[in-house]
Amino acid sequence: MSNVLPRNKIDNKFKWNAESVFANPEAWEGEVKSILESLPALAKYKGHLGDNAATLADGLKAIEDISLRAYRAVVYAIFSYQVETTDQKAAAMAGKAQGMSGQVSAAVSFLAPELIALGESKLNQWMKDEPRLAIYKHNVHNLFRKQAHVRSSEVEELLGMLSEPFAGPTNSTSMLSNADFKFLQARDSKGKKHDVTHGTIGKIFAGADRKARQTAWASYMDKHLEYKNTLATNLASSISQNVFQTRARKHDSTLAASLHENNIPIEVFHNLIDVFKKNLPTWHRYWEIRRKALGLKELYPYDIWAPLTKKKFKLPYTQAVDWICDGLAPLGDDYVKVLRQGCLEDRWVDIYPNMGKGQGAFSWGAPGIHPFIMMSYTDEIGGMSTLAHELGHSMHSYLTWKNQPLVYSEYSLFAAEVASNFNQAMVRAHLLKKNKDKNFQIAMIEEAMDNLHRYFFIMPTLARFELETHTRAEKGEPLNADALIKLMADLFEEGYGGKMKVERERVGITWATFSHLFSDYYVYQYATGISGAHAIANRILRQEPNAVEDYLKFLKAGSSMYPLDALKMAGVDLSTPKPVEETFAVLANYVDRLETLVK
């Protein structure tokens, strides 16, 4: 816990394959310069996309070509910054990339208004006449579905130009949290000190030493409380931007605006919250089982990850890759081969913690390059679980890019969390079946509960927080630090059901520790995603006919269909509460099994 190396001391074989994207930062600088110099060439298509079908096809290709180049350049810059947020050159690259991206967005903003001006019937005819346009059928349908919320070309150009200045609150919070925050060291029961960073905090919380957990928790939350007013101002500004965008595009609410993008009915969101609230007693029971198993008089939030067995299972990175591949074997040799090569040969993963590395883990990339994973791997079951999760995203991207044109090369956040949680569910089921050792069973169920705690407790709670804060902003009510802390503390107290000792200030600042809240209505999709994941995994584990084939079709679909339809193709209907209820049944089963194991 105390040996976090500077990045220049990490062996390159453990770092993401940056040189496969650009040979060096100088090459990246040259590409950014070239992209910006190419933008004026797009002007010849402005006002002329409707001349004829061939011109439209040419214009679309030109727009896609420069957009893809910009996409790759942004990935390189942002990833370079995230793995070392204290590197000022990388920070400058990230800022420059965002500026360039904003200029590209503004330069291509004429596209949607001109397509709408052509009309759906004419575009349908052109797609029949010009083979190069045939692939855009779903895209055109989606465009006209959203037509009421697309503004004039001048307004769209202005909205496109807002991406850079609107990134201010996000960038400010990231720089404050990742680069400027210096947390006090934690101290364990023997007086030994441990560095507290975004990369190490999880490992300390998962340790057996309660004093280390308590002091790390205090250090981490108190640092955020120290800057609560700045952090609250940034979040309130981001929410205000969401309200502005909602009104600019004439939506009824920020929730409706966010869900409209992927054609998700608002009932999906409310179904999740309703089922979550109804099943809170399952969580209350889990807290009580955990308190008794740990032999504690009172359970605190920093005890949520404390190990329930003293036996440690050391799990080096290569062993984790092997276990993940074993668990995903039902998907076929081709899937497993690509995954293994990405992890062990092609350097998809930036593996280990280093000083200045950003918090959390994510997978990102672009067509034509690898999907890359940033994480801080620890040699334990939790690290394997995170790796399996991010590999779900990476394989989703890999198969989408391999099977879809650029226009459908991205998938929605709503679909993304299905693939990641599916991997975890499959690996978990395999290992629980394979190893019947009591301590291993407890460790694996703890891993499952950690994941479900994040996705099926934290994220729905944050979603409730998000809905309330946006509703207040829409009414013109102020969002200051104290109001945000009170709201968050109230929601967590309800979720803990009197089974947890709540330090309201420290629990209430939880919102400041989640950068996800800068992407409006992102977090609920973690809970719907894990619901879809378990429903699909159950189909495959039950060996239902065509279950594997259906799931692989979903992974290959990208955005060529609406996410609810893609999931229906995989055998899951998230427009109903059933998948959410099914996953709460999985949760309840784990609680039952854990209660038996720890007695």
Locus of tokens 């060291």? 185
Contact call for residues 176 and 231 (beta carbons, < 8 A): yes
Tokens 């040979």 -> residue = 23
Identify the residue whose tokens are 């807002």: 162
Q: Please, are residues 404 and 410 in contact by the beta-carbon 8 Å criterion?
A: no
Give me 125's structure tokens.
């005819």
The tokens of 326 are what?
């074993």
Whether residue 156 lies in the annotated active site? no
Residues belonging to the chain: 599
Q: Could you tell me the two tokens for 12?
A: 């390159």
Q: What is the DSSP pairing of strand 349-350 with strand 372-374?
A: parallel
- Residues forming a β-bridge with 266: none
- C-alpha distances (whole Å) from 295 to each of 200, 289, 291, 307 are 26, 10, 6, 12
Q: Are strands 362-364 and 193-194 parallel, antiparallel or unpaired?
A: unpaired
Active-site residue identified among 157, 390, 417, 466: 390
Q: Is the separation of the CB atoms in 32 and 364 below 8 Å? A: no
317-356 b/e with 16+ CB inside 10 Å = b? beebbbbbbebbebbeeebbebbbebbbeebbbbbbbbbb
Residue ranges with strand state E in 186-261? 186-187, 193-194
Q: What is the Cα–Cα distance from 551 to 542, expressed in whole angstroms?
A: 14
Sequence-distant (≥ 6) Cβ neighbours of residue 581 within 8 angstroms: 275
Reading the block at residue 498, the tokens are 């009197």
Hey, which residues are catalytic here?
A: 390
